């Protein structure tokens, strides 16, 4: 019985550790951090990458942009208001502008 209780506790601890290790927390970067990353050539400026997002939704209005670090990857999170009135949330890889996510917000 003690053996079952011991293994149950260990199993519960392993489950908690697994959940914590798979929780990806995005960290917002401020302007100073973004500037340092751009100057170091790690990311591109958002102006250079904006055309990829706008080409997907011609005529859309830019609502919001945030630079985030997600699990070691720098991502521009972009919100657009399309001409049909739908808000789209896109994630662009800040290194090359590749669209990682595109969903209705």
87-93 contacts, C-beta under 8 A, 24 or more apart: 87/63, 88/57, 88/60, 90/53, 90/56, 92/49, 92/52, 92/53
Q: For the chain, what's the residue count?
A: 105
Closest CA to 102 of 40, 59, 56, 55: 56
Higher-confidence residue of 82 and 13: namely 82
Check: CB of residue 64 under 8 Å from CB of residue 81.
no
What CATH number labels 26-104?
A: 3.10.450
* pTM of this structure: 0.72
Q: Structural domain boundaries of the chain? A: 26-104
pLDDT tens digits for range 25-80: 789 989 999 999 999 999 999 988 888 788 899 999 999 999 999 888 999 999 99
Cα–Cα distance for residue pair 22/88, rounded to 1 Å: 26
């Amino acid at each position: 019985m003690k053996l079952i209780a011991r293994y149950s506790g260990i199993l519960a601890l392993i489950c908690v550790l697994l959940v914590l290790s798979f929780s990806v927390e995005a960290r917002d970067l401020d302007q100073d951090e973004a500037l340092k990353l751009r100057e170091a050539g790690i990311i591109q400026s958002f102006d250079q990458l904006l055309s990829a997002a706008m080409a997907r939704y011609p005529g859309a209005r830019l609502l919001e942009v945030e630079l985030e670090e997600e699990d070691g990857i720098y991502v521009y999170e972009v919100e657009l208001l399309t001409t049909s009135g739908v808000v789209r949330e896109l994630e662009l890889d800040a290194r090359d502008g590749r669209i990682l996510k595109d969903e209705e917000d």
